[in-house]
Structure 1
């Protein structure tokens, strides 16, 4: 029985690294393992760095820009600049068109009022203005009738010269 126990005891001591040979072997093995682990860690770090760089590049390409109307666009600077220029030109053209329309309306109102006043105006002695005498009353009445139908009817009735009134009354009597 003693022999078995001694053998097992020696075996255990040998595994623990009590003898000089075993100690050296175990230390060498441990050092090698540590070195291998360090190399693996370095490789992993390099891979992580590469992935981060790729992500940063994607972020640089894809940026959020607000449009003139406040709409978000995920595009590059060139596309954004072109869109902004197009939007600004459209806005400028629309503003110019609106200004032209307003000017035309103002001019038409001014011309209409001047023509209207020059046709209807009478002298202090209630005679027709020279502008009205040159024009035919029917044409003047039609022109004013387009601007104001009530004024056109009044001119047809009252503003016609007295000569025409006598002729019409004679024609009706005859």
Structure 2
């Protein structure tokens, strides 16, 4: 019975629809941020139609059922039931556990909030580095030399640590 549901779901539901339904943005080229690792640039490719997905960092992919199973830590049967219910296909009479859905939504909201805070901080640091780089270099005898040297130290920190050692890479 589930074999038939699996094939009908895979034929009926495009991967892009699943990604959008669960809150992911797919760009025009068909890429999105991978939810399975800390992704700072889209590395998960969503293939046209019902061909599924592939992450070029995780080296994993599969069908819409595989995606939902991995996303919610479900087995294939549970993932098929969730898709069936979320897309109102009417292939099964079983219902998913709403507590799991709420837990996942809270986790996603927390991750998105952390990413938004990081992006704001990163943008601030980029503006700060640009400002420091655009400052004219005072002569060493100038009273501003000490402040300039301190700013160069800050720029060194930004270039050699903050921009290279970020947890979102």
**TM > 0.5 between the two?**
no
* More RCO (CA 8 Å, sep 6+): 2
Report the TM-score when normalising by structure 1. 0.29
Instruction: Look at both structures and tell me which one has the larger radius of gyration over its CA atoms.
Output: 1
